[in-house]
Structure 1
Amino acid sequence: MPTTTREIRIARAVLSLTHRPADFDPLELLHDLTAQAVALLPVRCAGITILDEDGDTAVYVTASDELCLALEEDQGELDEGPCIDSARAQRQLPLTSLTDPPGATRWPRFAHRARAAGITAVAAVPLRLPHLPLGALNLLMSGPPYPGGHDLQLAQTLCDAAGAALTLRQQLADKEQVLGQLQIALDSRLIIEQAKGVLSVRLDVSMDEAFRRLRAHARSRQQKLTEVSARVVGGRLPGELLDPARSKDLR
């Protein structure tokens, strides 16, 4: 049976999530996970939450775009939603409609906000290390085609690949240490969000476009996204970010 282009893309995605430099940024890994999910699955956007040390409170970590970011934060605020349920139960949440029961009645407040944003269905898969739950990957859809069982298996494989990278990097044995590393990612996220806002205003572009340029600049120079973001927030904006024509990486 001939190998398809999509199969090659899947293999490359798993490889890129698993094999990272020794000092990779966990936040970048998790953002790559959401980006790969959107690229390979029939979903509108994707986001990740993790659980606190008690395994009860879910905290938003990263999302593929601003729409998903807002809905991930809504789940945390409302303490209801597919990502929270999947993270706490550490089970896959199959495709669930937000326009009809059970989704519309299971998460009434979240479903209302999601529908207002154009999201009509959701699914989620757990993010975990071996014998150690971390959180979940949230998949949001705005219409057909919807992901099927094999798509959710692929989503789980992507999550497991990211979990393997975290395991190999940290060589951690307990959840408290893992969450300590992810807390760094949470702190980094705040700096990155601030930098996105600065660039969005300075360049008169969307937050998504500001993040794309910020990340492209960091990657083209093999610098950590958090470090570049801190410079931007501190008022030290690289010329290439202000004038993308000066850098082919940002075109």
Structure 2
Amino acid sequence: MTSRPAEQLAETFVELADMMAREYDLDGFLRLLVNRSVQLLDVPAAGVLIVGHGVVASHERLIPVLGHDVSPLADSARDGEVVAVPDVDAATAWPGFADDARGAGFASVHVLPLRRRGETVGALALFRDGTGEADVRLAKAVADIAAVTIMQARALRQADELAGQLQHALDSRVIIEQAKGVLAERLGLGMGAAFTALRGYARSHNTRVAELASAIVDGRFDTNRLRR
């Protein structure tokens, strides 16, 4: 990586975006995020909490620290606000977190929400060996990049899932219409009566209508079984 922060930030943005564009690998993305945060922001360790997903850390010794339900990360992810802990010895609001952070060798932590347009998906925590406030201007840019990337990837994934569901529904509708035609011809029924027979048999035999319709169209089901 280059020595200039702006170029480092640009490279980080491209790398993070590229990972989520290639495949929705959230854990891989989060590992890359914390590792790049350590390099770019010159901190000894970083961790991230994603709501409904879990935590990822740059170092194994950080996992117990991040695992607390009552912690600066949990507060930041819930409230969408920055949480500064310049001295973990004075962090009386999160005693368990403070004890584990101190035990892992950290004296302070600064947590930034992963937030975009009123929605917070998690929080990024930067751990330091010394006490005091941290300069988080660059860290905020990293957090914003991560939030945007995660939200865009989720939106695309949801769109793909919805498209798949709609396609499945359409395919099922086509199969059902074909099965109605087969039943109407073989059993001498109108299309409405054919569907009533199809649906009634499926319900009475605890079978999905689309599955029964597919078996009828494929010839795997004896339509005479639907005769009254």
TM-score bracket for this pair, using the shorter chain length: 0.5 to 0.7
Q: How far 1:71 moved relative to its partner?
A: 1.1
Over the residues paired in the alignment, what is the CA RMSD in angstroms?
2.6
Instruction: Provide the TM-score with structure 1 as the length reference.
Output: 0.55
Separation in 2 of the partners of 1:19 and 1:131?
A: 25
Name the TM-score, length of structure 2 as normaliser: 0.60
Aligned pairs for 1:215-234 (under 5 A) are none
Answer yes or no: is 1:161 the counterpart of 2:160.
no
Compared with structure 1, are the counterparts of its residues 25 and 173 closer, same or farther at alpha carbon in structure 2 (3 Å cutoff)? closer
Q: Kindly tell me: are residues 130 and 17 of structure 1, through their superposed partners in 2, closer, same or farther at Cα, counting changes over 3 Å? A: farther
How far residue 120 of structure 1 moved from its aligned partner, in angstroms, is 0.8
Q: Distance in 1 between matches of 2:50 and 2:74?
A: 9
- Alignment-derived partner of residue 247 in structure 1: none
Instruction: Select 2:78's aligned residue among 84, 88, 91.
Output: 88
Change (3 A) 1:122 1:61: same
* 1:62 maps to which of 56, 66, 74: 56
1:97 paired residue among 75, 78, 87: 87
- The corresponding residue for 2:200 is none
What aligned pairs does 1:1-251 form with structure 2 within 5 A after superposition?
Answer: 5-20=4-19, 21-52=21-52, 60-73=54-67, 75=68, 79-99=69-89, 101=90, 103=91, 105-143=92-130, 147-148=134-135, 152-171=136-155
* 2:62–2:104 CA contact under 8 A, matched in 1: no
* Aligned equivalents of 2:44, 2:133: Cα separation in 1: 10
Larger Rg, first or second structure (1 or 2): 2
Report if the CA contact (8 A) 1:17-1:158 is conserved. no
Distance 2:153 2:99 in 1: 40
Are the aligned partners of 1:22 and 1:169 in contact in 2 as well (CA < 8 Å)?
Answer: no
SS at match of 1:80: coil
Aligned residues: 157
Q: Letter of the 2:60 partner, please give it.
A: E
CA distance in 1, matches of 2:99, 2:66: 14
Which segments of 5 or more consecutive residues in structure 1 lack a partner in the other structure?
53-58, 178-251
Structure 2 distance, partners of 1:170, 1:144, is 37
Flag the 1:168–1:109 CA change in 2: closer, same or farther, 3 A: closer
Deviation of residue 145 (structure 1)? Answer: 8.2
Question: What is the deviation of 1:88?
Answer: 1.1
Contact 1:129 1:163 in 2 (8 A): yes
Q: CA deviation at 1:25?
A: 1.0
For residues 155 and 86 of structure 1, the distance between their equivalents in structure 2, rounded to whole angstroms, comes to: 15
Distance (whole Å) between structure 2 residues aligned to residue 44 and residue 123 of structure 1: 12
Q: Is 1:33–1:159's contact at 8 Å kept on the other side of the alignment?
A: no
Q: Which runs of 4+ in 1 moved over 6 A?
A: none
- 2:213 is aligned to none
Tell me the distance in 2 between the aligned counterparts of 1:49 and 1:123.
Answer: 13
8 Å CA contact retained: 2:108, 2:132: no
Amino acid at match of 2:124: L
- CA positional deviation for 1:72: 0.9
The structure, 1 or 2, with the larger RCO (C-alpha pairs under 8 Å, 6+ apart) is 1
Counterpart secondary structure, 2:81:
coil
1:86 deviation in Å?
0.9
Asked if 2 retains the 8 angstrom alpha-carbon contact of 1:41 and 1:147, the reply is no
The Cα offsets for residues 56-90 of structure 1, whole Å up to 9 and x where unpaired, read as xxx632111101122112x1xxx221111111111
Tell me, what secondary structure is at the counterpart of 2:143? helix
Q: Do the aligned residues in 1 keep the contact of 2:71 with 2:97 (CA within 8 Å)?
A: yes
